[in-house]
Amino acid sequence: MIAGFIGTGSMGSILIEAFIHSGAFNPEQIVASNRTISKVELLAQTYAGLQVARSNREVVTRSDIIFICVKPGEFKKVIDEIKEDVLPSQMVISITSPILIQHLESTLPAKISKIIPSITNYVLSGATLCIHGNRMQPEDQEWLENLLAHISSPIRVSENYTRISSDLSSCGPAFLAYFLQSFINAAVEETGISKEEATLLASEMTLGTGKLLTTGGFDPATLQKRVAVPGGITAEGLRIMDNELVGMFQQVVRATHTKYAEDLEKAEQLLCTKQQPSQEPN
């Protein structure tokens, strides 16, 4: 099994490294291309055996499964370049959320899925969102999800909920990191604790909280109730946040959805709108 990667930017390289670190693929089972070839060459220096492709077409002709890890604006150029080489037996996996399954199925004959990875996959954790096209048979879906299980928890989502699912799983680490950074900065400013010590404490707290919410049997509401004694210190802190953060998360969701709608419209225009959805049976 040879895995091809078109694009080795932030998420493309995270996927490659996670697959290698997890043992899902050996470096020699990976072939990759990038607009800036030096980025692939650097990966090949780091992971001996990783194959450098000089073109996107070379990736396709040498691979069984192809991950397309490029920005929406680059997608049409990549598709136009590779579409004559893609075979029905191959899997093509997009990680570009505004590119719809119907866009891919109308231009490529392969088995199509879309996945939304997360930076947490780098440490073989977090979720990978999975949206499968009509040509992906149950055994194909299971195979892909078993592959992704090496680096994450694969979770199937509806394409209609791509954006909000991505907000939670893929954008979420940045949002949570912003919250923690603000908490750390306030701790340093208000008390004089060192930034290093505050960061260590906050980071360990985040790790432990994640475990409580995934394997510890808690959900966010029950965890708050367990920690916050009525009239206690934690309850007072929660009261402040409850007052000050009213509507903030709704604003965040509205903002991400507005930007996503803009990206969808641009993708439609770029890929020649009004392409008909696949007529193949579900």
Query: Which region among 133-137, 243-247, 278-282 has the lowest average model confidence (pLDDT)?
Result: 278-282
Indicate the pTM of the whole model. 0.91
**From residue 61, how far is each of 65, 69, 90, 101, 264 by CA, in Å?**
10, 17, 10, 22, 29
Q: Do domains 3-163 and 165-249 have the same CATH topology?
A: no
Backbone φ and ψ for 129, nearest 5 degrees, come out as -80, 140
Reported as a pLDDT band with limits 50, 70 and 90, residue 268 is confident
Could you tell me which residues come within 8 angstroms of residue 12 by beta carbon, excluding any fewer than 6 positions away?
A: 5, 6, 32, 34, 67, 69, 70, 95
Reported as a pLDDT band with limits 50, 70 and 90, residue 279 is very low
The residue length of the chain stands at: 282
What does the pLDDT look like over 217-263, one tens digit per residue?
999 999 999 999 999 999 999 999 999 999 999 999 999 999 999 99
pLDDT, the chain, mean: 94
CATH superfamily to which 165-249 belongs: ProC C-terminal domain-like (1.10.3730.10)
* pLDDT score, position 271: 81
Domain ranges in the chain are 3-163, 165-249
Does residue 126 have a pLDDT over 90?
yes
Does residue 18 have a pLDDT over 90?
yes
3-state secondary structure of 51: strand
Q: Where are the alpha helices (DSSP H) in 53-135?
A: 56-62, 72-82, 101-105
Domain 3-163: state its class.
alpha beta
Reported as a pLDDT band with limits 50, 70 and 90, residue 281 is very low
